[in-house]
Amino acid sequence: MSRLCAVLVALCLGVVALVGCGSASGSGPETAGSETAGSERVGRAAAGSASGGDPYFPADGNGGYDVRHYKILDTYRPGSDRLRGVTVLRATAHRNLSALNLDLVLAVDEVRVNGRPAAFRKPSRHELTVVPDRPLDAGERFRVRVSYHGRPSARSASGLEPGRDLYFRRAGETVAIGEPQIGPWWFAANETPTDKATYDIVMRVPQGKQAVSNGHLVSRRSSAGWTTWHWRMPEPMVTYLAFFAAGRYRLERGEAGGRPFVHAVSRALTAEDEDRSLRLLRATSGVVSWLESRFGPYPFSSTGGVVVGLQVGFALENQSRPVYDYSGGPDPYGMGLLVHEQAHQWFGNDVSLRRWRDIWLNEGFATYVEWLYDEDHGRATVQQHLRNAYELHGVDSGFWGLRLSDPGPSRIWREPVYVRGGMTLAALRSRIGETDMDRLLRRWVESRHFGHGTGQAFRRLASEVSGEDLDGFFAHWLDDTSKPATTAENGLG
């Protein structure tokens, strides 16, 4: 997520959009076949947890199973924000389950497990509890089919503290992007970064509108006044990185660096701004090539970007296809932002955080990569960025008062998470040298491809690669709440 959001997301909290109401036309049926159990039942079945276990956002995510694949079939009218859909999840039970939870804020019409009707209830606005007609066995692969409907924009922030549900729309255009939450506003999700899955996203919108999402465009078919857009993300993805944008978009498709790209620019922009936005999106392939030269192969099989016509207030690194806000002005979004969101494809999307307390692993890394890009392109060096930021924030500044390794759920988008996170890596490079720093970041990505990282694991790897005891260094930069002294040990000598 871009740093601009730090202020604007806070402003968005508590803003509840209430727009239009009515029924929606149904989406086509999807037959859910049963999958066979692969294990014996050992011990008694119990209900799965209603929490993914993250103390920052305990309502998000669930326990007892792991989703392997989502098939989302949504019919959506951008004009009235009426959504009706079906999500089919293929999952694996971790233990014997008498019931399991999903995250979904929309009204539920029907649930089936392995093709058979299942009982369900909504114990809270956010939770959906599913009770199969027979318990699921530990290790069993099973399928859940959930049908739902509603107006996502009417299901806003209340009750999700301190979550930030972000679902943006204006006349004729809707963008479902948000971090840490967004999935439950348009599909039945296990909304935790620890549960990655592959996706088929099938969006049906009125003919003449476009629906853009992650990954490859598998097909686009129109009939009876509707167009169905089928997108596929074949690489593992966290739920908050899934998105859709529905409205009128100018699409540009092609191939660069051996992989397909899709650029989309909202037709709500002026013709001049459309052209300018498209030109900037076309810089993506060059940025991706540069990132590959620094951190190894691009992790996913498609790329691109979307510039929306809404003033969202931030950009988000949606997997394979970041979404950029169009804020107007002479530079709707600069190269720095594009580099930042593409850097997240490695740092955040490929190597994802396991706990939200480690958000600096996403934002500090993306900020550091912005500085590295500047340095490699004849602008300010990483060292200059580090010195400037260090001098800008005095000893008494609140900038140093945030504990970076555990900022608290309401402060994950604060400036220090980005800038002090970037400074930590810049100072680490000064401390261990450029060669070890490059090896460290490459090994971090290579060893955790399609997986997760933690702050502690990064500290260990940094010490291992450099052969240095870095406990004091990381404690000063990440754990302390005071300005690090200008010492060589702190990378500030």
> Which residue numbers belong to the known binding site for Zn(2+)?
340, 344, 363
Q: Mark whether 274 is an active-site residue.
A: no
Phi and psi at 408, nearest 5°, equal 95, 145
Burial profile 35-54: b = 16 or more Cβ within 10 angstroms, e = fewer: eebeeeeeeebebbebbbeb
- Judged by CB, which is closer to Zn ion: 291, or 366? 366
For the bound state, the minimum distance from the C-beta of residue 340 to Zn ion, rounded and expressed in Å, comes to 5
Q: What is the CB neighbour count within 10 angstroms for residue 258? A: 7
For the bound state, the minimum distance from the C-beta of residue 1 to Zn ion, rounded and expressed in Å, comes to 4
DSSP annotation of 330 reads S
- Judged by CB, which is closer to Zn ion: 1, or 197? 1
To which residue do tokens 């620019």 refer?
265
Cα–Cα nearest to 162, from 7, 56, 4, 49:
56
Cβ atoms 372, 438 nearer than 8 A? no
From the candidates 173, 179, 341, 415, which is the catalytic residue? 341
In what order do the strands lie in the sheet containing 167-170?
A: 167-170, 173-176, 244-247, 210-212
Cα–Cα nearest to 422, from 469, 374, 463, 353:
374
For the bound state, the minimum distance from the C-beta of residue 3 to Zn ion, rounded and expressed in Å, comes to 7
Concatenate the DSSP letters of all residues of 412-460 into one string: TTSHHHHHHHHHHHHHHHHHH-HHHHHHHHHHHHHHTTTSEE-HHHHHH
Query: 484 preceded by cis ω (within 30°)?
Result: no
For the bound state, the minimum distance from the C-beta of residue 477 to Zn ion, rounded and expressed in Å, comes to 19
Question: Which of the stretches 50-58, 140-148, 363-371, 425-433 binds Zn ion when contact is defined by CB under 5 A?
Answer: 363-371
Question: Which of the stretches 192-200, 280-288, 359-367, 395-403 binds Zn ion when contact is defined by CB under 5 A?
Answer: 359-367
Phi and psi at 84, nearest 5°, equal -135, 130
280 binds Zn ion (CB under 5 A): no
1 binds Zn ion (CB under 5 A): yes
- Judged by CB, which is closer to Zn ion: 132, or 322? 322
- Judged by CB, which is closer to Zn ion: 249, or 300? 300
366 binds Zn ion (CB under 5 A): yes
Name every residue whose Cβ is closer than 8 Å to that of residue 273 and which is 6 or more positions away in sequence: 326, 328, 332
For the bound state, the minimum distance from the C-beta of residue 142 to Zn ion, rounded and expressed in Å, comes to 35
- Judged by CB, which is closer to Zn ion: 179, or 274? 179
For the bound state, the minimum distance from the C-beta of residue 431 to Zn ion, rounded and expressed in Å, comes to 24
Question: Which of the stretches 55-63, 105-113, 357-365, 386-394 binds Zn ion when contact is defined by CB under 5 A?
Answer: 357-365
Cβ atoms 347, 452 nearer than 8 A? no
Q: Mark whether 418 is an active-site residue.
A: yes
| Residues annotated as catalytic (active site), given as ranges | 341, 418
Residues that bind Zn ion in the complex, under the rule CB under 5 A = 1, 363, 366
